[in-house]
Amino acid sequence: MISNKLPKMFYGGDYNPEQYDHATHLEDLRMFKLAGIDIATINVFSWALNQPNEDTYNFTWLDQLIDSLYESGVYVCLATSTAAHPAWMATKYPDVLRVDTNGQRRKFGGRHNSCPSSPTYLKYSERIAHKLAERYKDHPAILVWHVSNEYGGECYCDNCAAGFRIWLQEKYSTLDNLNKAWNTNFWGHTFYDWEEIVPPTNLSEHWGNNSSTFQGISLDYSRFNSDNILHGYRLEHDAIKAIIPDSIVTTNLMGAYKPLDYFKWAKHMDIVSWDSYPGLDTPVSFTAMAHDLMRGLKDGQPFMLMEQTPSQQNWQAYNSLKRPGVMRLWSYQAVAHGADTIMFFQMRRSAGACEKYHGAVIEHVGHEHTRVFREVAEVGRELQLLGDKTLDAVTESKVGILFDWDNWWAMEKSSGPTVALNYLDQVHKYYAALFRRNISTDIISVDSDLSKYDIVIAPVLYMVKPGLAKKLEDFVQAGGSFLTTFFSGVVNENDLVTLGGYPGELRKMLGIWVEEIDALFPDKRNKIVMKDSLGDLQGDYSCGLLCDLLHSEGADILAEYGEDFYQGMPVLTRNKFGKGEAWYVASDPEDNFIDGLLKSICDAKGITPLLVTPAGVEVSRRSKDGQDFLFVMNHNAEEQAVELGSLQFRDLLTETDLTGTVQIAGRGVQILEVK
């Protein structure tokens, strides 16, 4: 449980009353009660209020706000306010301003853009975190500490360049090692002095869109940048912990956010929290995958849904409203995948600036008689009913999907074989096939313990880090089923090709040799022709994007290409290795094929759906103290029939007993406790 003081799912979110007068704040408190709001995230962007100049701090307004919330029964998620530096700081100390990839230094404005290496920023952000911790260490209102806000982006200033060189020296010790790792004899890039190394930008190795002429330096800069921003977070985190050792400290992450290696970040967070902003056209399976990734960051530990919009966003091109019921549905989808809080951005709409048309619990009209407020209050009532029932419940999965930021960076920085390769899409394709069948899946890192899984899937495992091949071999040898796809096993952790034939270190386990890799134009397809039927798979399937031209070195050939000069070469192989099997999918298939393939691999392992449901009805499970909770979520607008079988369930939201065939309303949710 995040806090014994509030033994239920926290319900509330970002609250910025400093944008309004006191009478409005009192109205807010009245309405919070009506909606069952019991937590407010405050002080996210108030650095300028807290520190009006270099020598003055003023927390009186914050004292009053925290007290007034607490007296009204609202707990606090206290931010450190360092997500936007004050104007005076930027004017006096330009080192807080980031430099972009074209070498331009920013002016004051915007947010989330302080240079992570700035001595000024680091000094004052740590200091204010320290002051806040000192001041509020004994305040009973505070449940969680929220450092900064949505860290991200990059900086290429001289301070960052100097930090990068130190980071490189720690990593490589000698320039000789670095020159080898980056293969600098290519294009005469040999470095003879550390000072010669400059960050990869549009002025050096990049040409827009993050394409790089030197993947080694670019990859290391991504790693450095993630570590460097993390360093700033850790200073604030440690400042709070030094004063309140048992505090819960987090920062709000952004799901599958490319610039930061969240597996590394999560090690320094007491609880993962994240902001979920799917578009109305985002596949619900993609949102589910993002939740599972967030749950995977701390090895399955429940997380906080820190932000979502109750109705619409402002920053998309077309900010459609969440249709009636969708906010509730997506809230429970987060819970179904491991969230123990439901929180919003934001409690009341701003009157000015760019977020005035962003959805909020309290609309501009200012009263509670709105659709959005009614829907929020309805969920608030349900959460009181649920109490602590599902808190801390975990997800048990027999299938793990490997996800790796270094692999992501490396493959998408690669010049060739295709610009169309998108790691997230590839991971999502395999995830979605499991999602469609209600098969519980964990997203895992290369450091995860594989022994608890029966199946491990690593879409496009382009980079094989030290020790990983052996770890996967051990997994398969012990009886596991492993599946990877085209363009895998190609490089080591420095993006240097593993010579001697693809898929390099995975070659023995997969029992194949990939001789060439063909990239298809967007309008070109090839065919996967099954040799025999395999479960539901038979006949032809379409494939594209990349086609590996491979030879079996012992693997069974289950399907062959149907077209082009490599017609008849293997496209789906399975190699028996020890007690297990290693599968290779040599191209990018249509969804039907992935559905059938994963079904057959799951069937062989006895992994069955949680429930068999109509399309668009998702089922996810959490378990606690031997008690299972099935979340049944109808993403369709129309009612659907779901077959529960002979088990007896209690729907915790309606407090009714269910069994056999039941109807679930369009966009409806059931939380079923197995009786």
User: Residue 111 or 231: which CB sits closer to ligand GLA?
Assistant: 111
Active site includes 154?
no
Cβ at position 315, least distance to ligand GLA in Å: 6
Cβ-proximal residue to ligand GLA, closest one: 275
Q: How big is the site for Zn ion, counted in residues (CB under 5 A)?
A: 6
Residue 577 backbone dihedrals phi, psi, to 5 degrees: -145, 115
Cβ at position 98, least distance to Zn ion in Å: 6
Cβ at position 9, least distance to ligand GLA in Å: 19
DSSP string, 379-443: HHHHHHHHTTTTTT-B---SEEEE--HHHHHHHHH--SS-TT--HHHHHHHHHHHHHHTT--EEE
β strands within 63-171, DSSP E = 75-79, 142-146
Residue 226 near Zn ion by CB under 5 A: no
Q: Pattern 147-166, binding to Zn ion, x per CB under 5 A?
A: --------x-x-xx------
Pick what 155 binds: ligand GLA, Zn ion, none; C-beta below 5 to 8 Å, kind-dependent. Zn ion
Q: Other CB atoms closer than 10 Å to residue 33's CB: what's the count? A: 15
Pick what 307 binds: Zn ion, ligand GLA, none; C-beta below 5 to 8 Å, kind-dependent. ligand GLA
Pick what 149 binds: ligand GLA, Zn ion, none; C-beta below 5 to 8 Å, kind-dependent. ligand GLA
Which of 321, 343, 299 lies closest to 146, judged by CA? 343
Catalytic residue among 126, 150, 154, 581: 150
Any residues with CB less than 8 A from the CB of 265 and at least 6 apart, and which? 226, 230, 233, 251, 253, 297
Asked if 348 and 296 touch (Cβ cutoff 8 Å), the reply is: no
Any residues with CB less than 8 A from the CB of 267 and at least 6 apart, and which? none
Pick what 150 binds: ligand GLA, Zn ion, none; C-beta below 5 to 8 Å, kind-dependent. ligand GLA
Catalytic residue among 154, 205, 236, 307: 307
User: Residue 86 or 232: which CB sits closer to Zn ion?
Assistant: 232
Active site includes 581?
no
User: Residue 313 or 498: which CB sits closer to ligand GLA?
Assistant: 313
117-155 burial, b at 16+ Cβ within 10 Å, e below that, comes to bbebbbebbbbbbbbbbeebeeeebbbbbbbbbbbbbbb
Cβ at position 79, least distance to ligand GLA in Å: 10
Q: Binding residues for ligand GLA, per CB under 6 A?
A: 149-150, 275, 277, 307, 313, 345, 355, 358
Which of 51, 52, 146, 157 lies closest to 104, judged by CA? 157
Pick what 433 binds: Zn ion, ligand GLA, none; C-beta below 5 to 8 Å, kind-dependent. none
Q: Pattern 106-125, binding to Zn ion, x per CB under 5 A?
A: ---------x-x--------
Helix extents (H) in 173-206: 175-181
Cβ at position 218, least distance to Zn ion in Å: 17
User: Residue 163 or 480: which CB sits closer to Zn ion?
Assistant: 163
Helix axis angle for 158-172 and 215-243, nearest 10°, is 100
User: Residue 345 or 453: which CB sits closer to ligand GLA?
Assistant: 345
Residue 96 near Zn ion by CB under 5 A: no
User: Residue 225 or 313: which CB sits closer to ligand GLA?
Assistant: 313
Which of 655, 605, 642, 146 lies closest to 386, judged by CA? 655
Catalytic residues: 150, 307
Q: Which residues bind Zn ion (CB under 5 A)?
A: 115, 117, 155, 157, 159-160
